[in-house]
C-alpha cells in the first residue's frame, strides 16, 4: 500500500538523456563562471600545514569509514576492522587528497544558471549579493550551480532561501543524481542544510528542481563537514521497555552490533516468506531478505467489520521460525463511525485522512469521548495479535503511526501534539495495560516536532520514495534524523523505500542505514506476478545489493534466539 504518495509525487525523475542534453547546452556559459571561482579554489586546494596538523590529531575514535576515493576492496577491509587504527589511516589518506576541513564558499543564486520562469529579483530584504532567484514553479524551472571542491569528502550544502508563503520543499541533484530535499520554513531568508554530502575533488553541478517550488533562493553555501564520525553508530542496546522479552533484547543487541557495519535487507510482502516479492527476489538474486515487513491493517476492527481477515501474524511466526526478523506497520483504518464509505472514498482506504472524518485533536483533548473509546478498542484488537506473537516468542520491530508529518494519514492530520499523545497512549496501553514486551519501538513520525522523546523510541526510521532508479545513499535524510534526537543516539533505519540504495554509496557517505524495507508490489514485482520489475530498481542493482558483503540476507543472520550468549 504505497502510503507515501505525496513523497512520490514530489520527487521528479529526469531521464538521463534529457539531463545530458541540458548539460551540453549550459556548458559554455558555466565554464565562464567557473573561471572566476577556480582562482579561489586553486588557493583553497593547496595542501596547507594546517591540514597536516589536523590530520595528526585524528584519533581512531573519531574516524571510521574513509571518505576519500577508496575502492570497494578498501571499504571491505575497513569494514572488517571497524574501530581499529586502520580506520584512522584511511581517513588520513582521504585528507591527503587536498580535503580542506576549513573550506567554505558561497555562490549567489543570481549568478548561477537558470531556465524557464526563473528570474532575479531584489524586493525582499535580507538577501546576500545582488538579489535572489524566484519563479521556480514549473518542472522546467531549474537552477544549476557549477561548483568545484578542492578535495574528496563530505560537505554541507546550504540553500539559503525563503518560501514565498511558509514551508516549502524542493529537490536537489548532484551531477544528475537525486540526493535529497532542501526544506525551508518561516518568512525570512534562512539556512537550509543538506548535511554531509559526499563530493569528489573537482567540478560538480548542483541543481535545484521544483518539488513544491515557490521559493526565493538567495545563495548556495558549501562548507566542508570534516572527518567521518563513527560515533553515530555507538548506540545503547537497552530497550525503552524495561520489561522487554529476552528475544527482543537479543534482537536489539544484534541490530546494535550490526549498525554501522552491515545493512539488513528488508522487504514488505503480505504473502510472507512465500509471497511474490520474496520469491521474485530469491529467483533473481539467490537470496532472501533478512527482514519481512508486515501490516496489521486487516486486523483493524473497521475492516474486520467488512469481512477482512489478516494472515500476517501467521506469516510472522513462519518467518521467525526460519530465523528472520519481522517488522510490522499498521495502516490503522479509522473506526466505522468516521468512514463516509462513499464510492470515491471507500471504507478500505479509511487510514487516509481524505477517506475519514475522524478528528484526532477532538479525541485527544476530550471533546470526542466516543472516539477515544473506539481507538482504545482498536488498540486492544491489535494487542490481541501482538500477544499471539509474544506467546510464539516472535520479537517485533513495531512501527505504528508512520509518516505522520505528511498529514496524509489521519493520525498525522491534526499536527504533532495529538499525534505524540496517541503514540504515548499506544505505548502505555500495550506495555503497561496489556503487559506486552516483545516490541522494539520504531518511531516513524518524520518530523522533528513529532518526536515523542528518547524514552519512547528504540529506532528512528524514515520512509523515502525518491523516484525511479535513484541509488544514492540519501545521506541528507540520514543526517537529518540524527539531528532530531534528544540526547541519546538511536539506530537509524530506512523503514520504507521504493528503489534500493547502492550499499557501496551508503558506506562511502557514512550513511549506513541499519536496514531498508522495500515496499511491496510494483516496487519489486511486475503486475502482481512472481517476476521482478525493473521500474524502481534494476535487477543488476538488486543483485548487487543482495549479494553485497555489506548487506545481510536471511541466510547470513546468526541464530537470533541465542545471539549474545
Ligand atoms: Ca543572493
Distance from CA of residue 283 to its chain's centroid?
Answer: 27
* pLDDT for 228: 87
Map grid coordinates 554530502 to a residue: 197
State the alpha helices, DSSP H only, in 46-84. 49-56, 72-80
Residue 496 catalytic?
A: yes
Task: Tell whether the torsion through CA atoms of 561, 563, 564 and 565 is positive or negative.
Answer: positive
Among residues 391, 260, 401, the alpha carbon closest in space to that of 320 is found at 391
558 burial (CB, 10 Å; 0-12 / 13-18 / 19+) is: middle
- Tell me which of 70, 403, 468, 480 is the catalytic residue: 403
**CA 120 / ligand 1 centre spacing (Å):** 9
When the pLDDT of each residue in the chain is averaged and rounded to a whole number, the result is 87
User: Cα(440)–Cα(241) distance, rounded to whole angstroms?
Assistant: 8
Cα 190 to averaged position of ligand 1 atoms, centre (Å)? 12
Which residue reads 519512547 in cell numbers?
Answer: 456
Long-range contacts formed by 425-434: CB under 8 A, 24+ apart = 425/375, 425/379, 426/379, 426/400, 426/401, 427/452, 427/456, 429/376, 429/379, 429/380, 429/383, 430/379, 430/383, 430/386, 431/241, 431/243, 434/380, 434/383, 434/386, 434/387
Q: Which DSSP string corresponds to 288-331?
A: -BSEEEEE-GGGSHHHHTTT----HHHHHHHHHHTT-EEEEE--
Q: What is the pLDDT of residues 113-125, one digit of tens each?
A: 999 999 999 999 9
Ligand 1 center to 387 CA (angstroms): 58
Ligand 1 is an ion; its neighbours by CB within 5 Å are 108, 127-129, 132, 218-219
Please give the pLDDT value at position 415: 98
Q: How confident is the model at residue 565 (pLDDT cuts 50, 70, 90)?
A: confident
The answer to whether the pTM exceeds 0.85 is no
Q: Looking at residues 166-184, what average pLDDT do you find?
A: 96
Q: Ligand 1 centre and the CA of 509: distance in Å?
A: 29
Q: How far is the CA of 113 from the centre of ligand 1 (A)?
A: 13
Distance CA 37, CA 156 (A): 18
CA of 55 from ligand 1 middle (Å) equals 35
User: Which segments within 359-406 are labelled E, that is strand?
Assistant: 396-399
How many A from CA of 10 to the centre of ligand 1? 26
C-alpha cell read off for 18: 534529457
What is the Cα 364 distance to its own chain's centre? 29
CATH class of 97-224: mainly beta
218: cell is 538567495
pLDDT at 32: 37
Domain boundaries, the chain: 60-89+240-556, 97-224
Ligand 1 centroid distance, CA of 457 (Å):
41
pLDDT, tens only, 82-101: 333 334 334 444 445 789 99
β-sheet bridge partners, residue 133 = 120, 217
Distance of alpha carbon 460 from its chain centroid, rounded?
Answer: 10
Instruction: Quote the CA–CA distance of 231 and 110 in Å, as a whole number.
Output: 39
What is the 3-state composition of the chain as percent helix, strand, coil, each rounded to the nearest 5?
A: 40, 20, 40
Residue pair 122/97 in contact (Cβ under 8 Å)? The answer is no
Q: How far is the CA of 105 from the centre of ligand 1 (A)?
A: 13
CATH 3.90.470.20 fits 60-89+240-556, yes or no: no
Average pLDDT on 361-387 reads: 98
pLDDT attached to residue 486: 77
- The active-site residue out of 70, 221, 277, 496 is 496
What is the distance in A from the centroid of ligand 1 to the CA of 36? 17
99, 190 contact by CB (below 8 A): no
Residue 77 is predicted with a pLDDT of 35
Q: Which residue has the cell 539556512?
A: 191
Residue 40 is placed in which grid cell?
A: 579561489
- pLDDT over 80 at 46, yes or no: no
Cα–ligand 1 centroid distance for 85 (angstroms): 44
CB-based contacts of 24: which residues, under 8 Å, 6+ apart? none
Round to whole Å and give the CA distance between 390 and 279. Answer: 27
How many angstroms is it from 221 CA to the middle of ligand 1? 11
Q: How far apart are CA 219 and CA 128, in angstroms?
A: 7
> pLDDT tens digit string along 397-423?
999 999 999 999 999 999 999 999 999
Pairwise CA distance, residues 174 & 198, whole Å: 10
Q: Across residues 449-473, what is the average pLDDT? A: 97
Q: Ligand 1 centre from 112 Cα, in Å?
A: 10
What is the signed CA dihedral for 346, 352, 353, 358, rounded to 10 degrees?
A: 70
CA of 125 to the centre of ligand 1 (A): 11
Quick: pLDDT tens for 329-358. 999 999 999 999 999 999 999 999 999 999
How many angstroms separate the CA atoms of 528 and 521, rounded? 6
Residues 6+ apart with CB under 8 A from 527: 533
Q: Bridge-partner residues for 168, per DSSP?
A: 184
**C-alpha distance from residue 115 to each of 106, 181, 322 (Å):** 21, 20, 55
Give how far Cα 170 sits from Cα of 129, 141, 192, 448, Å. 22, 12, 11, 18
pLDDT value for 97: 74
CA of 152 to the centre of ligand 1 (A): 27
Q: Which residues have CB under 8 Å from 233's CB, separation 6+?
A: 64, 259, 260, 261, 512
Cα 220 to ligand 1 centre (Å): 9
Amino acid at each position: 500500500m504505497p502510503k507515501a504518495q505525496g513523497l512520490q509525487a514530489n520527487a521528479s525523475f529526469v531521464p538521463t538523456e534529457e539531463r545530458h542534453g541540458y548539460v551540453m547546452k549550459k556548458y559554455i556559459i558555466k565554464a565562464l563562471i567557473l573561471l572566476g571561482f577556480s582562482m579561489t579554489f586553486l588557493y583553497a586546494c593547496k595542501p596547507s600545514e594546517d591540514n597536516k596538523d589536523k590530520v595528526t590529531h585524528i584519533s581512531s575514535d573519531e574516524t571510521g569509514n574513509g571518505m576519500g576515493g577508496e575502492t570497494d576492496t578498501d571499504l571491505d577491509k575497513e569494514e572488517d576492522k571497524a574501530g581499529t587504527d586502520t580506520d584512522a589511516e584511511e581517513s588520513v589518506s582521504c585528507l591527503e587528497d587536498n580535503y580542506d576541513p576549513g573550506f567554505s564558499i558561497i555562490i549567489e543564486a543570481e549568478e548561477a544558471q537558470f531556465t524557464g520562469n526563473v528570474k532575479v529579483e531584489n524586493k525582499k530584504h535580507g538577501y546576500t549579493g545582488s538579489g535572489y532567484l524566484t519563479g521556480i514553479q514549473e518542472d522546467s524551472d531549474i537552477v544549476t550551480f557549477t561548483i568545484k571542491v578542492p578535495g574528496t569528502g563530505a560537505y554541507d550544502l546550504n540553500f539559503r532561501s525563503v518560501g514565498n508563503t511558509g514551508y516549502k520543499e524542493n529537490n536537489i541533484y548532484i551531477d544528475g543524481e537525486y540526493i535529497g530535499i532542501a526544506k525551508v520554513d518561516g518568512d525570512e531568508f534562512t539556512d537550509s542544510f543538506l548535511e554531509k554530502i559526499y563530493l569528489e575533488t573537482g567540478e560538480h553541478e548542483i541543481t535545484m528542481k521544483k518539488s513544491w517550488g515557490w521559493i526565493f533562493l538567495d545563495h548556495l553555501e558549501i562548507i566542508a563537514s570534516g572527518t567521518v564520525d563513527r560515533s553515530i553508530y555507538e548506540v545503547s542496546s537497552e530497550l525503552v521497555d524495561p520489561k522487554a522479552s529476552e528475544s527482543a533484547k537479543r534482537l536489539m543487541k544484534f541490530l546494535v552490533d550490526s549498525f554501522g557495519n552491515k545493512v539488513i535487507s528488508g522487504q514488505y510482502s503480505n504473502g510472507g516468506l512465500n509471497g511474490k516479492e520474496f520469491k521474485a527476489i530469491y529467483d533473481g538474486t539467490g537470496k532472501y531478505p533478512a527482514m519481512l515487513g508486515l501490516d496489521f491493517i486487516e486486523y483493524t476492527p473497521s475492516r474486520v467489520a467488512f469481512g477482512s481477515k489478516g494472515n500476517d501474524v501467521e506469516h510472522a511466526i513462519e518467518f521467525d521460525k526460519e530465523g528472520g526478523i519481522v517488522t510490522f506497520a499498521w495502516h490503522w483504518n479509522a473506526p466505522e463511525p468516521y468512514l463516509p464509505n462513499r464510492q470515491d472514498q471507500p471504507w478500505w482506504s479509511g487510514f487516509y485522512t481524505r477517506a475519514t472524518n475522524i478528528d484526532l485533536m477532538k479525541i485527544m483533548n476530550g471533546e470526542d469521548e466516543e472516539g477515544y473509546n473506539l481507538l482504545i478498542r482498536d488498540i486492544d484488537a491489535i494487542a490481541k495479535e501482538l500477544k499471539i506473537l509474544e506467546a510464539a516468542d516472535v520479537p517485533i520491530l513495531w512501527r505504528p503511526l508512520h509518516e505522520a508529518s505528511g498529514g496524509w494519514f489521519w493520525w498525522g492530520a491534526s499536527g504533532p501534539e495529538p499525534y505524540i499523545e496517541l503514540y504515548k497512549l499506544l505505548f502505555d496501553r500495550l506495555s503497561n495495560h496489556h503487559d506486552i514486551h516483545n516490541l522494539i519501538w520504531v518511531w516513524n513520525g518524520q518530523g522533528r516536532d513529532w518526536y515523542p522523546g528518547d524514552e519512547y523510541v528504540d529506532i528512528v526510521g524514515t520512509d523515502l520514495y525518491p523516484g525511479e532508479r535513484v541509488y544514492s545513499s540519501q545521506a541528507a535524510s540520514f543526517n537529518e534524523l540524527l539531528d532530531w534526537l534528544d540526547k541519546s543516539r538511536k539506530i537509524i533505519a530506512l523503514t520504507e523505500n521504493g528503489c534500493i540504495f547502492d550499499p557501496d554509496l551508503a558506506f562511502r557517505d557514512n550513511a549506513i542505514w541499519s536496514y531498508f524495507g522495500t515496499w511491496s508490489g510494483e516496487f519489486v514485482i511486475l503486475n502482481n506476478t512472481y517476476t521482478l520489475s525493473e521500474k524502481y530498481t534494476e535487477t543488476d542493482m538488486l543483485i548487487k545489493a543482495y549479494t553485497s558483503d555489506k548487506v545481510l540476507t536471511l541466510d547470513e543472520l546468526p541464530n537470533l534466539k541465542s545471539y549474545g550468549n
